[in-house]
Amino acid sequence: MGVIGIVMMMVIPVPTFLMDVLLVINISVALIILLIAMNTKEALDFSIFPALLLITTLFRLALNVSTTRNILVHAHAGEVVMTFGNWVAGGQVAIGFVVFLILVVVQFIVITKGSERVAEVAARFTLDAMPGKQMSIDADLNAGLINEQQARARRSKIEREADFYGSMDGASKFVKGDAIASIIILIINLLGGFIIGMTVKGMGFGEALQTYSILTIGDGLVSQIPALLISTAAGLIVTRAASEGNLAHDLSLQMMRYPHLLYVVAGTIALLGLFTPIGVVRTFPIAILIAFLGWKMQGAQSKQLQEQEQLVEEQQIEEVRSPESVVSLLQVDPIEFEFGYGLIPLADTQQGGDLLDRIIMIRRQCALELGLVVPVIRIRDNIQLRPNEYVIKLKGNQVARGDLLLNHYLAMSPGFEDESIIGIETTEPAFGLPALWIDEATKERAEMSGYTVVDPPSVVATHLTEIIKRHAHELLGRQEAKALVDNVREAYPALVDELIPSIMTVGDVQKVLAKLLKEKISIRDLVTIFETLADHGLYTKDPDILTEYARQALSRQITQQFSAGGGSMKVITVSPALEKRIAESVQQTEQGSYLAMDPVASQQICSRISEQVSRQIQSGHQPVVLASPTIRMYLRQLIERVMGDVPVLSYSELEPSVEVQSVGTVSL
């Protein structure tokens, strides 16, 4: 009925009183639409807007036709039109025309053109993005992140967005046409009324010009002001990004986020009044008001920040009080580095500490040398420690400790002591070597004397690196092994699928990798290790035997690791009689094999090997024990508790090209 009534208004004359009521309704509806557009959170909250835009445009054009009829027939269009015309014109027709033309220019060129362009671009991008959004919904549904009902709701929203922006693209053309029609109706009212007034009404030239100019201006303003409001609403709708609040909330939250900038604006305005003819009377009140707003906003932000911090503290207290908070205490960090308060500058970047950067480099170094991804190292200060003391913990248990003197250097002698080098006697924490803490003045002289001089951060980094290498096998659990397996699977899926789980489990693989790391053999070449396990895992599940097969497959790597430059290797060999004695002491059980040797003989073997190792160290060579493949792992088990750092190799783990030189033989 409303739409039919709008159409009938274009044909049937409307009384002036009813015309006034309809014009006021038109302005009211335009204000309502504008305020609703400003308070929507997203465009779909006002999805009826395109149809409403068409109806209001039709209603406004019907009012234009009715007022034009009354202007031309009766030379009167009601009190609303006369009031707008007289009020804006102020008794001067030229001023009224200028104001009206400015409104038409703003409406047609700025708002209407901009809304039309934004609606067109929004529709295009919405349609182009539909396939990607649909695929994202399908991916979330397949991953189990959403259920079928949520997926259906999201698909429906995407379709509604596409329909809405497509409709807005078309509806914006009505706004543009309405602006053009308003200009044409203005010309018709002015010229037609002027001609009719002089020829039909018998008015004089001045009277006709005054009467019909006021009526034309009033009619134009009454129609253009609602059109301007609705065009602005259209622009707000199509430029509105989805957010958690309305326009006022977003405006206050985002534009008032930087109160200190208002001080800059206030100072600029004040300087403008001081150094220009504008004067301080006009600028200082505004500058003071802006500065006051900045001060109030800054105080509000500080209060809000305090409230947030208080809320976080209350939440933490509630979490501690809750029964579930005890569960978090069960978590144990793989590696912890604790230090006394005197060593805080090591970790404080503001004081020049680079400990965090060094730890990143340690993790990279371990990944390259061992093939192991070291877990995140927890760093914290501990007031229970001495000020210059630090502790390294593994899974909550202390494995190493040391002391540092900041503003000093650790100097290790080259084998002979220089009495002129005076310092505080200590022990180098990583390798247990005697050393001195020296000051800056003694550093240069110590370096010239052949001492190895390092700074405290380097001492910590070296110690931490050695601890990680020594306990690398403890850091490799099933979860870490699973991550390594998944990494190999990306490049070699056929190999991993054959090995796991048909031949071995992740736990079996983890045991082999841990045994390799325990003897400082890098597991970076996982492809070779997995190939070997796939070949021999069908015949045995004994991790010790599988480890021996893996070591033999890594012969080139092991040879380069322990040979001097890759060309020669000085080794300590085992006599045939001792190898036979060890082989005869091996006991086979269902759970595997183990070395069952009497304590006296075990002690004698360890003593003989220790003597040979000491000679090698004194001569400046790395001690390496070489044995036959059948007894290698049993000899290693025998000496690992007393000489865990001494590598034990077998003949099958060495490349044929390497030159082996026996510098000692172990025998009973």
Same-domain check for residues 654 and 505 = no
Q: To the nearest 5 percent, what fractions of the chain are helix, strand and coil?
A: 65, 10, 25
pLDDT at 242: 47
- Higher-scoring residue by pLDDT: 576, 51: 576
* 549 and 569 part of one domain: no
**What pLDDT, on the 0 to 100 scale, is given for residue 526?**
92
Which pLDDT tens digit goes with each residue over 307-352?
A: 888 888 887 777 656 655 566 667 788 899 999 988 888 888 888 7
Q: What percentage of the chain exceeds 90 in pLDDT?
A: 17
Most confident region among 162-166, 226-230, 257-261, 307-311 by mean pLDDT: 307-311
Last residue of a domain, one of 504, 528, 553: 553
Give the number of domains in the chain: 5
496 and 456 together in one domain: no
327 found inside a domain:
no
What's the predicted TM-score (pTM) here?
0.56
Q: Are residues 487 and 432 part of one domain? A: no
- Domain containing 520 — which CATH number? 1.10.8.540
- Tell me, yes or no, whether 326 lies in a domain: no
- In the listed set 273, 308, 343, which residue is the last one of a domain according to the structure? 308
Assess if residue 315 is contained within a domain.
no
CA distance 649 to 624: 7
Give ∠ CA 449-453-459 in degrees, rounded to 5.
160
Which 3 state secondary structure label does DSSP give 661? strand
Write down the pLDDT at residue 225: 75
Could you tell me the CA-to-CA distances from 217 to 210, 229, 306 in Å, in that order? 11, 18, 57
Query: Which of 69-83, 346-360, 514-528 is modeled with the greatest confidence?
Result: 514-528
Indicate whether 532 pLDDT > 80.
Answer: yes
For 332-350, b/e burial (b = at least 16 CB within 10 A) is eebbbbbbbebbebbbeee
Please check whether residues 162 and 176 belong to one and the same domain. yes
In a domain? residue 10: yes
Q: Are residues 276 and 185 in the same domain?
A: no
In this prediction, residue 125 has a pLDDT band, given cuts at 50, 70 and 90, of: low
For all residues of the chain together, what is the average pLDDT? Answer: 81
Together in a domain, 102 and 237: yes
Q: Does residue 487 sit in the same domain as residue 469?
A: no
More confident residue, 614 or 86: 614
Q: What is the pLDDT of residue 307?
A: 85
Do both 429 and 380 map to the same domain?
A: yes
CATH number at residue 667: 3.40.50.12790
Whether 318 is in a domain gets the answer no
Q: Can you give the CATH number for the domain in which 374 is found?
A: 3.40.30.60
Reported residue count of the chain is: 668
541/480 same-domain check:
yes
Asked if residue 314 is part of any domain, the answer here is no
608 pLDDT above the threshold of 60: yes
501 and 411 belong to one structural domain = no
Beta bridge partners of 393: 336, 398
Phi first, then psi: what are they for 475, rounded to 5°? Answer: -85, -15
Above 60 in pLDDT, residue 623? Answer: yes
Question: Quick one: pLDDT at residue 88?
Answer: 61
In a domain, 325, yes or no: no
pLDDT at residue number 112: 64
pLDDT given at position 523: 93
Higher pLDDT, 90 or 431: 431
Please list the alpha-helical segments (H only) found in 452-591.
Answer: 456-470, 472-475, 478-491, 493-499, 506-518, 526-536, 543-553, 555-562, 576-584
Whether the pLDDT of residue 195 is over 70: the answer is yes
Residue 393 reports pLDDT greater than 90: yes
End residue of a domain, out of 440, 473, 506: 473
Domain annotation covers residue 329: no
pLDDT reported for residue 32: 87
Q: Which of 78-92, 465-479, 584-598 has the lowest mean pLDDT?
A: 78-92
Higher pLDDT, 563 or 329: 563
Asked if residue 491 and residue 465 are part of one domain, the reply reads no
> Residue 513: what pLDDT?
94
**What pLDDT band is residue 153 in, cutting at 50, 70 and 90?**
confident
pLDDT of 663 > 80? The answer is yes
The DSSP secondary-structure symbol of 665 reads E
Model pLDDT for residues 89-124, shown as the tens digit of each residue:
565 667 766 776 777 777 666 666 666 666 666 666
Domain span including residue 590: 565-668
